[in-house]
Amino acid sequence: MRSALVLALLLAACATPAGRSVGDCDASWRDVESVVVRPGSGGTKTETVPIDCMRRVDQKRVRIGFSMPPGPACYTLSGVDVVEAADAVSIALWVTAIADPAAGACPEEATRTATEIDLEAPVADRSLLDGSAAD
C-alpha cells in the first residue's frame, strides 16, 4: 500500500495530463490493423491526430483507436507522447507524411488504425485522455 502511494505521488509530480476524455473501443475496433511507431520515417510533415477510443488490454497496456489522415500522401505513426499521473493518463499520437515516391497509392479517405502502448504504471481507474486535444 505504501509503495502504491509513493508511486502515485511520483507520477503526479512529473507532469499534469491534459486532454479530452475518449470512449472505450467497442467490438468494431477488434479487427482493426495495429501499427507500431516508426520514428525518423523521413517524412515531411508531422501532426497530431485525434484519438477515437482507448481500451485497457491488460494491467499496463492500452489499445488506441485513431484514423490515419487521407491522401494524397501516405502517413505513418511517428511518435507517441504519454503523460502519466495518479488519476489520469494523457496520450498524443503523431503522424508523418511519408516522403517516399515508392510508397504506392495512398487511401483517399481516413483509415481506421490502432496501436498499443505500455504504461509505466497500471491503468487501474485512471482516466485515459486524448492529449492531442489539450489546450
In this predicted model, what pLDDT tens digit does every residue of 21-53 receive, in sequence order?
Answer: 999 999 999 999 899 887 665 555 588 999 999
For residue 5, name the pLDDT band (cuts at 50, 70, 90): very low
Using DSSP bridges, classify how beta strands 88-97 and 75-84 pair: parallel, antiparallel or unpaired. Answer: antiparallel
Q: The C-alpha cell of 71 is what? A: 491522401
Contact 42, 99 (CB under 8 A): yes
Over range 108-127, report the average pLDDT.
Answer: 94
Mean pLDDT, the chain, as a whole number?
84
> What integer is the mean pLDDT of 102-116?
85
Which range of residues forms the domain containing residue 63? 2-133
More confident residue, 61 or 5: 61
Q: Which is higher by pLDDT, 10 or 95? A: 95
Q: What is the pTM for the complete model shown?
A: 0.81
Distance CA 9, CA 59 (A): 19
C-alpha grid cell, residue 87: 488519476
pLDDT at 6 over 50: no
**Higher pLDDT among residues 8 and 32, named by residue:** 32
Residue 12 has pLDDT above 80, yes or no: no
Q: SS3 for 3? A: helix
| Domain count for the chain | 1
